[in-house]
Amino acid sequence: MNPKTVFFDLDGTLLAPKCGRPFQIPEDTLSALTELKQNGHRAAACTGRPEAFIKKFFPGIFQSFVALNGAHVVFEGKTVSDRCFAPERVRAMTERFDSYGCRYVFVGKNHGWARNVPAPEMDRLNACYALPEFLVTRWKPEDVSAGTMDFVFLGEADYEKQRGAFTGGVTLNWHPGGFTADLGFPGCTKASGISQFLSFAGIRREDTVAFGDGYNDLAMMSAVGCGVAMGNAADKVKQAADFVTADIFDGGVSLGLKHLGLI
């Protein structure tokens, strides 16, 4: 068997809330990642999260990753791509989304630039990012160094009022368990990030695997040789996958890797 590169989504795939505690990583998942690498395969994160989040929760595990939904790509510590919105685009998007009353965050490697988020929501939102002093509330477009966006809705009716903002090829990727979503842009997705990664590293698509659970993982599934959906994945992700493993806390990652003969 050729060495495989296995891309892992993070939230809902490698870590998730459990018993009221956020960001819990199953021990068998960590053991499986270690064994995967010991067997000569490569583990790479593929996530909407920034690099700082990856390094905080998985220190020493991922030297390769596709972060910020494809905007930031690193192979074995070497930067392949680091895309940021130009100030004029930030300004244009701010005007557009403000006109619809949207609440959103421009997400970058080290900070998120929040706009129109109610004060009572800020603590909860900061906790979701799990990085100290991540959110900035006073900023100008030229201050922003971001490659993706997150949106916060106060309920379904709130979303319905804003849905007209999400046209022109952008895609809302809903997050399970809450009324938040990240925004996918044409040409900048997990799939495009993986494509750049593979081209840079000279890796064949047939030697790649992806594990995921959420809507932004649909693009990732289309970019690899074999897609594995977690048991807790959205139905559309399960339908797109080549194999469905168990839930995250029922040994899903370990069982999936064993099924593929990688550990």
How many CB atoms sit inside 10 A of residue 89's CB? 12
Helix (H, G, I), strand (E, B) or coil at 196: helix
User: How far, in Å, are 68, 151, 173, 257 from residue 182 at the CA level?
Assistant: 10, 6, 5, 28
Q: pLDDT tens digit string along 107-134?
A: 999 999 999 998 888 888 888 999 988 9
Please state, rounded to an integer, the average pLDDT across all residues of the chain.
94
Query: Treating both helix axes as pointing N-terminal to C-terminal, what angle do 252-259 and 27-38 enclose, rounded to 10 degrees?
Result: 30
Confidence (pTM): 0.94
The structure tokens 């995921």 sit at: 212
Residue 171 has pLDDT above 90, yes or no: no
Is 90 exceeded by the pLDDT of residue 179?
A: no
Query: Is the model's pLDDT at 41 over the cut of 80?
Result: yes
Question: Which residues, listed in sequence order, are joined to residue 105 by a DSSP beta bridge?
Answer: 114, 150
Residue 82: name the closest of 95, 73, 69, 91 by CA: 73
Q: How high is the pLDDT of residue 174? A: 85
Spatial strand order of the sheet with 64-67 comes to: 78-82, 72-75, 64-67, 42-46, 5-8, 208-212, 226-229, 243-244
Kindly indicate the confidence band of residue 180, based on its pLDDT and cuts at 50, 70 and 90.
confident
Cα–Cα distance between 161 and 48 in angstroms, integer?
A: 25
Sign of CA pseudo-dihedral 81, 13, 57, 76: negative
pLDDT at 15: 97
Cβ neighbours of 221 (radius 10 Å): 23
Q: Which domains does the chain have, with CATH numbers?
A: 5-82+188-259 (3.40.50.1000), 87-184 (3.30.1240.10)
Would you say residue 213 has pLDDT above 80?
Answer: yes
**pLDDT above 70 (res 98):** yes
Residue 121: per-residue pLDDT: 83
Check pLDDT > 80 for residue 204.
yes
Grade residue 242 by pLDDT with cuts at 50, 70 and 90.
very high
Q: What is the pLDDT of residue 177?
A: 65
Q: What is the pLDDT of residue 168?
A: 85
